[in-house]
């Protein structure tokens, strides 16, 4: 039988079977895409880090996800290896901010918001014809306070919510409790030793079903990264507590008008017209971070030349109740990174 491949035979085949060949190529592409989609790691809620920059605030460049993981010359990292996706929404405007945030928050998105706490004239008058002052932070909390994590320590949480809601627990207190599961001593001590068995047990439970860890060798490699993640978080937690102690960071106090659980106005009913004033603590004030102007500035505060300043810029921690417990504290590491990176940039410019 003559099975020799010739130019004429190839031409004859293509003239009659070109549709079949195209269909076969298309099928191969579809199968490849499906395999890639099925086998590729899918970021969970906690493995996605989303930044929102409120109108009137400008954020400098952080770099790509690799650099935030510490894949550079820095001795610190912003996010752990388990954050697989990061995005920054820096284009919010006064016209779009509420539409975008309402949609994104309803979908459970968002990790941090950068916003100004500087007060300004709202354009409204009170009953005594005095100007009503407000701030972007107050306006944000009026709409989205239930999306914000409590930073008030032992102060009374001002809003009615279930005790198991992670957003009602003091964020740093909860972080300390999480870390304490994995250390045999005081987590604030330099000599704190990891309970590696506890870390391994919880990591293997998390890794179950994660297609990055199908083989034992992959699990062991991931476990080494997990030891590092938890130690980095411990260091960042201690640093943030230190920043709050020395004044580098502070927690902004705001006055909230909240619904009362009693009949305040004396009309015999308890409804939305019965309100009380309470103190709220929902954001870290970055104003006193050395070098903050290199990373964040706001048009709400300007110098004598009209240049934007970093004074009054705050960071709000969002939605920790929606994340896996192990990944609720990436914002702590991120906050520590901001302080360190601002100092480094300031030193480079000096």
Backbone angle region of 123, left / alpha / beta, with phi > 0 → left and psi within -120 to 50 → alpha: left
Quick: pLDDT tens for 158-212.
987 777 788 999 999 999 999 999 999 899 998 899 999 999 999 999 999 888 9
What's the pLDDT score for residue 275? 80
Mean pLDDT of 19-48: 57
What whole-number distance in Å separates Cα of residue 225 and Cα of residue 215? 16
End-to-end CA distance of the chain: 84
Q: Name the more confident of 39 and 104.
A: 104
Q: Give the residue with greater pLDDT, 8 vs 3.
A: 8
Structure tokens at 206: 């998390």
- Mean of the pLDDT values across residues 249-271? 83
39 pLDDT higher than 50? no
Are the CB atoms for 243 and 249 separated by under 8 Å? yes
Q: Which residues pair with 57 in a beta bridge?
A: 298
pLDDT at 40: 47
Top-confidence residue, 127 or 335: 335
**Residue 33: predicted pLDDT:** 43
Cα(105)–Cα(79) distance, integer angstroms:
21
Beta strand 112-116 pairing with 48-53: parallel
Alpha-carbon distance of 120 to 135, in angstroms, equals 6
Structure confidence by residue, pLDDT tens digits, 69-94: 888 888 889 999 999 999 999 999 99
pLDDT at residue 269, as a whole number? 82
Residue 10 has pLDDT above 70, yes or no: no
**pLDDT band with cut points at 50, 70 and 90 for residue 259:** confident
Contact between residue 135 and residue 56 where contact means Cβ atoms under 8 Å apart: no
Section 281-303 average pLDDT: 97
Please give the Cα distance from 145 to 350 (Å, whole number).
39
Q: Taking the CB of residue 170, how many other CB atoms lie within 10 A of it?
A: 18
pLDDT of residue 36: 44
Residue 21: phi and psi, rounded to 5, are: -65, -45
**By the 8 A CB rule, do 187 and 172 touch?**
no
pLDDT tens, residue by residue, 115-153: 999 999 988 888 888 888 899 999 999 999 999 999 999
Q: What's the mean pLDDT when you consider all of the chain?
A: 87
Average pLDDT, stretch 234-260?
95
Distance CA 70, CA 80 (A): 9
Burial tier of 208 (Cβ tally within 10 Å: 0-12, 13-18, 19+): exposed
Lowest mean pLDDT among 81-95, 220-234, 257-271: 257-271
Strands (E), the chain: 48-53, 57-59, 85-89, 112-116, 119-125, 131-135, 250-259, 275-285, 296-302, 308-309, 313-317
């Amino acid at each position: 039988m003559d099975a020799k491949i010739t130019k004429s035979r190839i031409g004859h085949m293509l003239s009659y079977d070109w549709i079949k060949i195209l269909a076969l190529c298309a099928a191969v592409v579809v199968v490849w895409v499906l395999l890639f989609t099925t086998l590729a790691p899918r970021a969970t809620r906690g493995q996605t880090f989303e930044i929102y920059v409120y109108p009137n605030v400008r954020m400098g460049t952080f770099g790509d996800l690799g650099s935030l993981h510490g894949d550079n010359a820095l001795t610190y990292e912003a996010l752990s290896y388990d954050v697989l996706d990061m995005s920054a929404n820096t284009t919010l405007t006064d016209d779009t901010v509420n539409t975008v945030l309402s949609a994104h928050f309803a979908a459970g998105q968002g990790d941090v918001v950068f916003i100004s706490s500087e007060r300004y004239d709202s354009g409204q008058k009170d009953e005594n014809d005095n100007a009503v002052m407000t701030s972007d932070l107050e306006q944000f909390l009026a709409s989205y306070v239930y999306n914000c994590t409590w930073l008030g320590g032992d102060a009374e949480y001002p809003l009615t919510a279930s005790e198991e809601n992670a957003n009602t627990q003091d964020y740093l207190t909860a972080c300390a409790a999480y870390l304490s599961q994995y250390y045999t001593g005081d987590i604030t001590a330099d000599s704190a030793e990891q309970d590696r068995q506890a870390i391994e047990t919880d990591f293997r439970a998390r890794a179950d079903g994660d297609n990055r860890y199908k083989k034992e060798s992959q699990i062991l490699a991931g476990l080494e990264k997990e030891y590092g993640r938890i130690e980095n978080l411990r260091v960042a937690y201690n640093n943030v507590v230190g920043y709050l102690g020395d004044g580098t960071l502070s927690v902004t106090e705001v006055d909230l008008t909240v619904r009362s659980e009693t009949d305040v106005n004396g009309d015999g009913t308890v409804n939305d017209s019965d309100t009380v004033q309470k103190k709220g603590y929902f954001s870290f004030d970055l104003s006193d971070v050395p070098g903050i102007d290199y990373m964040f500035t706001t048009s709400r505060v300007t110098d004598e030349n009209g240049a934007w300043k970093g004074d009054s810029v705050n960071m709000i921690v969002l939605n920790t109740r929606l994340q896996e417990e192990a990944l609720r504290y990436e914002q702590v590491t991120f906050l520590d990174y901001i302080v360190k990176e601002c100092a480094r940039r300031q030193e480079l410019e000096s």
